[in-house]
Amino acid sequence: MSPGIFSAMGLLSTDLKHDFSSTLVTRLDETVLTNVMQEFEAMEAQGRGALEQDQVDEQRMQFVRQLDLRYFGQSYELTLSIEDPEMRPDEMQRLSERFHQEHERVYGFGAPDEPIELVNLRLSAIGTIAKPSLRQIAGDDQDPGSAVLTTRLVYFAETGGFVDCPKLRPVSVSCQRRD
């Protein structure tokens, strides 16, 4: 398959994705749960609308929720996915624990006694599309010598000189040929 066709296949078989974000700078605790849920619901409605415009069926829609978190006073964030889409009250505690662990993993230290700041909410609305099935191309027993158009001198540093190399007719070489 030529590179141009391969790239087009990728374009046509990639899932649709719309990303949304909202800034909400506040301390991460149970008191912000309602605001966070409302904001995610609003972004999900936007995402659902965008996917509906793309004519994606409801059963092919997925929504990924994430939060950008940091310790107070830091200028960089870590992005964590929300595992519980309903965000029960204990989700904030689990997020805090995961943030401390991830901060330790990424930066080599954690500060479990420091307050965590929520900076951004992120939502990815994904519309999964059916992937095309490609037919297998059968190999052949054709003599690879019949694909040679001509030869050409090519310089190889490993040999310290020019080597006579065959120039092949691409359509004549089987995809399974390794000679």
Output the domain CATH number for residue 108. Answer: 3.30.1490
With a cut of 80, say whether residue 174 has pLDDT above it.
Answer: no
Q: Kindly state whether residues 18 and 60 are assigned to the same domain.
A: yes
> Is this model's pTM higher than 0.85 or not?
no
User: Does residue 5 form part of some domain?
Assistant: no
pLDDT category of residue 19 using cuts at 50, 70 and 90: very high
Domain extent for 150:
143-179
Cα separations in angstroms, 48 against 19, 41, 81, 112, 124: 11, 10, 19, 37, 10
pLDDT over threshold 80, residue 54: yes
Tell me what the mean pLDDT of segment 85-97 comes to: 83
pLDDT at 7: 74
- The band of 12, judged by pLDDT with boundaries at 50, 70 and 90, is confident
In a shared domain, residues 74 and 154? no
pLDDT of amino acid 140: 63
- Once rounded to an integer, what is the mean pLDDT over residues 93-122? 94
One domain, residues 19 and 62: yes
Average pLDDT, the chain: 87
Confidence of residue 5 (pLDDT cuts 50, 70, 90): low
Residue 3 lies in a domain: no
Q: How many distinct structural domains can be found in the chain?
A: 2
**Is the pLDDT assigned to residue 92 strictly greater than 60?**
yes
Does residue 44 sit in the same domain as residue 123? yes
The mean pLDDT of 111-121, rounded to a whole number, is: 95
Q: Which residues pair with 114 in a beta bridge?
A: none
CB atoms closer than 10 angstroms to residue 78? 19
Question: Is 20 a residue whose pLDDT tops 60?
Answer: yes
